[in-house]
Amino acid sequence: MSSTSLPASLPAPQSTNRLVTDTGVPLPLGPHSWKGGINFSIFSRNAERIWLELFDRAEDEAPQHRIELTPEHHRTGDIWHVWVEGVAPGQLYGYRADGPYAPTVGHRFNPHRLLIDPYAAAISHHDNWDFRRAQGYDSSSPQKDLVPSTENNSATSPKCIVIERQTGWEPTRPLQHPWADTIIYELHVRGFTAHPSAGVSHPGTYRGLVEKIPYLKDLGITAVELMPVQEFNEHELVRVNPHTGTRLRNYWGYNPAAFMAPNGFYSSAGSRSGEQVKEFKDMVKAFHTAGIEVILDVVFNHTAESDELGPTFSWRGLDNRIYYLLEPGRRFYTDYTGTGNTLKADHPVVRDLILDALRYWVVEMHVDGFRFDLASVLGRDEEGHLLADPPLLDRIAHDPVLRNVKMIAEAWDAAGTYQVGHFQDRRWSEWNGRYRDDVRRFWRGDPGMLGAFASRLAGSADLYEHTGKGPESSINYITSHDGFTLNDLVSYERKHNEANGEFNRDGPEESYSANYGVEGPTDDPAINNVRTRQVKNFLLTLLLSHGVPMLLGGDEFRRTQQGNNNAYCQDNEVGWWGWDRLDEHPTIHRFVKELIMTRKAHSPLQHAGFYTDEDLQWIAPDGQTPHWDDPDARALGCYLPDTNDLAILLLFNADLGSVTFTLPPLPANRHWNRKADTALPSPDDIYPLGHSQPLDQQGHYTVDPQSSALLIATP
């Protein structure tokens, strides 16, 4: 289908008054204030006509004005542009694009679809946003996507919002905490305060998160990593919870609909006029005032338009062949992400879009870093092959605007690529999935894990040193949003995702977890005691390991998802932070807080480079070199000798029996003190900063089964 005018079935503009327009300019892309109006600019190489529609209200089906952009007057190269007099920030708008509808050659233009501007800084948000109405194909046709839909979707489609740019709203400079001083806390903006027990005035919003900043500052973290805030549609799922019959929602948000727009659903003031932008900025400023950096989890590997039967609401309708990787026949989408499509990140136009989005979040929104979801996808070429030197990743790493921004890669994808340890250059840190798995297996008691555990504890030099990277490249974590919480890791041997409506087939099959005798909650004191010890073992290991620790929010008070290890659709008490757990587990919260203060206070734990043989010594329980090849060895000591009047000894015992360690000898004026022991009840499990307990026997220390200890030696 191709035409030179809009279909007659589309609603006519409500206003008959003609707007004053001019040709406008092609750059910058998106809407920008200029000469008493707004210049609109959008990319499409293969469109034949484009229409700009201006709306008064988010729910309107008919635009107030419709402006045709013709190639003769409004096109420079592949950029379509127009200047409109009198339009101001807050104006709602959208685009329609016409061209060939020919899926077998990769084109899916359909002027019946109202389209989101890829450069929109905000979009309107309303409860009936329904992507099923945005299907670009005729669902009644036996060949479906080969026949375009003629249904107008503008009434249920979000509208773009013109936003006034304002870069100087925060007077302070970026915090730029050194990696060695960074402690990351991963959280979900809505889930963190949505539960009534959160005790905030604006639950589930950016403002609600601001209300919790004193808690985060008191805990001692230095950066929050926010799960996706790029605009997405919470209502895109059609499945229901088989237990309750309630419709499931896209809770996590790993399905972006606009790369530069903060999610309006998280705005306490609504999102009809772009209120979410100011509220997001206010949140960032509040975090910075508290000395906490803001890192965004960003998704540039795919979009919410899914496969050939997915909705058409932006990129697909503007230039499908440019934005997406397509199979050789071009009708179907290449899927390296497990979501139905893959963004063509190696195309220059797409590269520019991603870079512009990153710069926007840094320059305009003042964020401090990014965690890139399925980052390996961004290193594939147009045929999907992994590139040795991906130009996009190289440009991100060396972009002058992004030069001091924290960059974290999830160095794998859904097509089997796993690049942990060799993802690009020094600028990139990585979620260290090897750390997660090896530490879990060690504490579960798996055989042969001693050497791997030691490597992870010391910063994973085996993964990073050969590439010239340092321990700052390793983002260490035990748990993240993707998998069990820490409480559930020690309470369930298998996943329990039935409520997701996918017959428990979703989520990782192997979690290296254990339940210690009962699946799920129990009143058995012996089982609960070992679970508590293991929780503290994981926390002590994480927060005292070399590298950059990342704590999953809520693990500090044993948040549970009831055994669900893929709560992406659980916008309810399963996925929310239940703050009543803080009252139930105050001793775990205290343990984490004291560990963070200990890490910050003792410089050997924040060593800038990898440890040398002079910095660190490994010891077996007998005080000698560990038996690395012994599959049954499950006890290990990590000795950081006297540095700055302090010596540190970490002792780990994953065995089912007690182990007595021979302690390294000290000078006559030094003695060993117990700082922490996970086998002891609170408050003896960890002493406050500046306090410790002298050992009765200076030459030996017994570590109980499945326990760990921290000893320090001072004058």
Q: How far is CA 305 from each of CA 111, 313, 380, rounded to the nearest angstrom?
A: 17, 7, 20
How many whole angstroms separate alpha carbon 209 and alpha carbon 599?
26
How many whole angstroms separate alpha carbon 547 and alpha carbon 452?
15
Would you say residue 713 has pLDDT above 80? Answer: yes
Query: 328-357: per-residue pLDDT in tens?
Result: 999 999 999 999 999 999 999 999 999 999
Structural domains of the chain in order of their starting residue, each with its CATH number: 21-161 (2.60.40.10), 611-714 (2.60.40.1180)
Percent of the chain with pLDDT over 90: 87
How many whole angstroms separate alpha carbon 231 and alpha carbon 259?
7
Would you say residue 360 has pLDDT above 70? Answer: yes
Query: Which residue of the set 346, 368, 410, 655 is catalytic?
Result: 410
The reported pLDDT for the residue numbered 130 is 66
Query: Which residue of the set 275, 373, 472, 571 is catalytic?
Result: 373
Query: 276-286: per-residue pLDDT in tens?
Result: 999 999 999 99
Better-predicted residue by pLDDT, 535 or 696: 535
Q: Are the C-beta atoms of residues 516 and 510 closer than 8 Å to each other?
A: no
Please give the distance of CA 540 from its chain centroid, rounded to a whole number: 24
Active site residue 446: no
The reported pLDDT for the residue numbered 23 is 96
Span 115-122, mean pLDDT? 98
Would you say residue 483 has pLDDT above 90? Answer: yes
Query: Given pLDDT bands bounded at 50, 70 and 90, which one contains residue 3?
Result: very low
Query: 660-691: per-residue pLDDT in tens?
Result: 999 999 888 889 999 999 999 999 999 999 99
The reported pLDDT for the residue numbered 498 is 97
Would you say residue 386 has pLDDT above 80? Answer: yes
The reported pLDDT for the residue numbered 644 is 64
Query: 507-531: per-residue pLDDT in tens?
Result: 999 999 999 999 999 999 999 999 9
**Which residues does residue 709 pair with via DSSP β-bridges, in sequence order?**
651, 677
Percent of the chain with pLDDT over 70: 98
Q: Are the C-beta atoms of residues 7 and 111 closer than 8 Å to each other?
A: yes
Please give the distance of CA 336 from its chain centroid, rounded to a whole number: 18
Q: What is the SS3 string spanning 537-587? A: HHHHHHHHCCCEEEEECCHHHCCCCCCCCCCCCCCCCCCCCCCHHHHHCHH
DSSP string across 166-179: -TTS--SPP----G
Range scoring the smallest mean pLDDT among 17-26, 125-134, 201-210: 125-134
Would you say residue 602 has pLDDT above 90? Answer: no
Mean pLDDT computed over every residue of the chain: 94
Would you say residue 2 has pLDDT above 80? Answer: no
Would you say residue 1 has pLDDT above 70? Answer: no
DSSP string across 241-301: -TTT-PBP---S--SEEEEEEEPGGG-TT-SSSSHHHHHHHHHHHHHHHTT-EEEEEE--S
Query: Given pLDDT bands bounded at 50, 70 and 90, which one contains residue 127?
Result: low
Would you say residue 603 has pLDDT above 80? Answer: no
CA dihedral 393, 180, 363, 293 (to 10 degrees): 130
Query: 432-481: per-residue pLDDT in tens?
Result: 999 999 999 999 999 999 999 999 999 999 999 998 999 999 999 999 99
The reported pLDDT for the residue numbered 168 is 84
Q: What is the SS3 string spanning 588-624? A: HHHHHHHHHHHHHHCHHHHCCCCCCCCCCEEECCCCC
Span 580-590, mean pLDDT? 98
Span 31-54, mean pLDDT? 97
Span 258-267, mean pLDDT? 96
Instruction: Please report, as a single letter, which amino acid is at residue 471.
Output: P
The reported pLDDT for the residue numbered 432 is 98
The reported pLDDT for the residue numbered 384 is 86
How many whole angstroms separate alpha carbon 92 and alpha carbon 94?
7
Span 682-709, mean pLDDT? 95
| Helix or strand (DSSP H, E) at 439 | helix 433-444
Query: Given pLDDT bands bounded at 50, 70 and 90, which one contains residue 4?
Result: low
Which has the closest alpha carbon to 486: 511, 507, 509, 510? 511
Q: How far is CA 231 from each of CA 267, 397, 555, 569, rounded to the nearest angstrom?
A: 12, 25, 27, 16
The conformation of residue 684, written as its DSSP 8-state character, comes to T
The reported pLDDT for the residue numbered 383 is 87
The reported pLDDT for the residue numbered 300 is 98
The reported pLDDT for the residue numbered 5 is 76
The reported pLDDT for the residue numbered 562 is 98
Would you say residue 24 has pLDDT above 70? Answer: yes
Active site residue 410: yes
